[in-house]
Chain A
């Protein structure tokens, strides 16, 4: 770790500071999520909280908003001890959070959601619907919200609209401290810009906004100060103007970027592994491309422009029309089972590890072999010996850290869980791999291993389609990058043109014009 930064380590909070946390510690079972973390922020500022996934940011704001309780250390709000028993108690002290994991109720209307549990009431204890509507419109008007119908049921809204409702719900509490956890990540450009402006305005009104974002440009645009977490500890706190992007990134990941990414040797051959022609599904419209043997093809673009639909359609997890050819032969993939057909098949490492990838309450062994039960079935009976051999092979090959193969998958760390999913798909022997955000919520060490694995597999002749929500990953790992926009491929970048600017440019060019 570069020594220069430790001198700028945070001093314990001054009298002026509104929220001061010292020595904050939180454990979940055996996993330490926060370890003596420090944080100090004052009223009237936008304070960015930075760190990788799993650095402890989410845990910190959960504690601050009353959704979790800390095991050690203390928090002072206004100089007084703060240990909320639940979200209500935190609110009573003026702290409200806009969660990344939305806290909204699908079957209630927009206005009911905004004022949930704090609705204006009539004499007989029912919700005063006239007052509810009036207050909602006032709130939306006051903060210049994008147009949303207050009587719409929440489950009928788009993800972006829901995020905006979540912001409204936070603001309705008139908090002194507003926590925005990745609130811009689901928003289109115009709405994101609105939210940034709103954030500045709230700070100008004398509130403290704790702002969490992975978009450096946003942090640069609005943050007064920033605190950086890594592995549950506070590594630095700065005035925003006093540090460079490079310094921040280095402090976030704790080592140089170049060591994270493996060398990218040209391993692609001329043989086409996957050819897609006029593929349409949901917002995906008429996508066509080829993926070659030995190639890592990146899929980028702003979130929600058809990447998810593309991966699901290719894997048979969503209804789709259009042509798919695998290794030169037309394939009809109507469900995942039809995709996982051995060597000539196509395998997916899905986006939602817990919901789509892993049986959390089953063993590592059962998870690893779930997709290849045929490979160890003898005359209809499972062979424990053959299964063990397969499991051993994968545990060793991927260096999965598990006590025994019988350990429950849910008790592994995020990185090891992801390795189990990789193992499950590699055991199918499919040589076309779809990786959807495979490094999300994975520690840095495992990230490096995953990238190395991808390049190794490519060298062995695998063909890999790779989506990441983290642009630098695409830039550093992929041989080519397809940028998606409005359900189509807006551009395919190669060689020198693969850069964050290039991807962003292609992703935004037309949406700006529209």
Chain B
């Protein structure tokens, strides 16, 4: 049990931070903990969380995905254009858009794994290329409204629980199974810790790398479609904020940006922390500028904790070896 605590210390810290934030917020604005407010917080956090799901896989594998903003945005716009506000086309549009996201991920992954392009450059390039292509396609004009099914998925409720929260929960379950209970997870952690050791141990490193980017492309596309439902329309630039928040959620959730450690469960807490902060600041009468300052401070604090925590963990282990 002790080993469990030591191992997951950073994730637990992220949850502790989340609870602390909730308590503090409740003190400042008693209405914050109301059911409706919590609901809207979870809904907003879900979008961050879904984008950050793919980002978690990529970062644990030792990479980074800067293409999420425009994969998300492209997915939203293409879906809106193809559906033209109708529900029926979703039957083929939704799979098509998800496959499109996966394809961008595949291209990113192949560039990184097969051609040795640094992840930052590869995903930056696909991001700007997508941005340009979408601008060319739309001519910069806004797209039709979102189909009502999509609206239901992102703002609707089943038995008082937001549908998107259920979607998020299901995705969290799948991600957790993949990371903790499947061979893929083992491969991924090994790859992120040392690509060479993983390769020498028979881990399919190229395939694993590519898969992380495919997952990231898919979740970004999914988030794009759902976000269209939330805002009612798809618009240019709707994905921009998600580059920063997806990486921040992963970092706050305790993953190392170098890869090899972290878990999606931590990222979930990270997404919640970021969203609660967004909700907290208006209550405190603080501007969006102050929110960014707080974001930065929170990232610095959590990664510092991570760094020290690792040193502490190592020394604890060393002490325990000395005893034997």
Contact = CB atoms under 8 A, between A and B. Distances in A.
A–B: direct contact at CB < 8 Å: yes
Interface string B189-200: 110011011111
A63 interface: no
A442 interface: no
B200 A317 contact: yes
Contacts of A408: 314, 317
Question: By CB atoms of chain B within 10 A, which of A30, A358, A410, A412 has the most?
Answer: A30
Interface string A396-410: 000001011011101
A371 B321 contact: no
Nearest to B186: A373
A262 interface: no
B324 A401 contact: yes
A406 B203 contact: no
B140 to A, nearest CB: 45
Interface in A358-413: 358-362, 366, 369-371, 373-374, 377, 380-382, 401, 403-404, 406-408, 410-412
B275 interface: no
B318 A374 contact: no
Interface stretch (A106-114, A331-339, A464-472): A331-339
Interface residues of B, number: 33
Contact of A381 (B3, B181, B190): B181
Contacts of B181: 381-382
A340 B200 CA distance: 9
Interface string B172-214: 0000010011110011011001101111111110000000000
A411 B189 contact: no
A337 B182 contact: no
B321 A355 contact: no
A359 B194 contact: yes
A371 B202 contact: yes
Contact of A30 (B190, B194, B202, B322): B322
Nearest to A358: B197
B321 A411 contact: yes
Nearest to B316: A411
B318 to A, nearest CB: 4
A403 B203 CA distance: 27
A136 interface: no
A30 B321 contact: yes
B55 interface: no
A463 B315 CA distance: 41
B180 to A, nearest CB: 8
B320 interface: yes
Interface of B is mostly: helix
B260 interface: yes
Given A340-B202, A359-B190, A370-B190, A404 B3 contact: yes
Contacts of A335: 199
A361 B259 CA distance: 11
Contacts, number: 97
A336 B320 contact: no
Interface in B214-273: 260-261
A356 B321 contact: no
A357 interface: yes
A171 interface: no
A388 to B, nearest CB: 13
A158 B234 CA distance: 58
A54 interface: no
A29 interface: yes
A373 B315 contact: no
B318 A30 contact: yes
A407 B319 CA distance: 12
Interface string B300-315: 0000000000000011
A406 B199 contact: no
Given A317-B199, A350-B200, A362 B190 contact: yes
A361 B321 contact: no
Contacts of A410: 314
Interface in A404-463: 404, 406-408, 410-412, 424, 428
B256 to A, nearest CB: 9
Contacts of A223: none
Nearest to B185: A382
A371 B261 contact: no
A317 B200 CA distance: 7
Contact of B186 (A340, A356, A366, A380): A366
A348 B190 contact: no
Contacts of A407: 317, 320-321
Contacts of A370: 186, 190, 198, 201-203
B296 to A, nearest CB: 27
Contact of B318 (A340, A381, A382, A411): A411
5 shortest interchain CB distances as A-B pairs: A30-B322, A340-B202, A29-B318, A406-B3, A373-B183
Interface of B: 3, 7, 177, 180-183, 186-187, 189-190, 193-194, 196-204, 260-261, 314-315, 317-322, 324
30 contacts: A29-B321, A30-B322, A317-B199, A336-B199, A336-B200, A336-B202, A339-B202, A340-B201, A355-B194, A355-B197, A356-B196, A357-B200, A359-B190, A360-B193, A360-B194, A361-B260, A362-B189, A366-B190, A370-B190, A371-B203, A373-B183, A373-B187, A377-B182, A382-B186, A407-B321, A408-B317, A411-B318, A411-B321, A412-B321, A424-B201
Given A340-B201, A381-B177, 10 more contacts: A30-B319, A336-B199, A340-B202, A359-B198, A361-B261, A377-B182, A381-B181, A382-B183, A403-B320, A412-B321
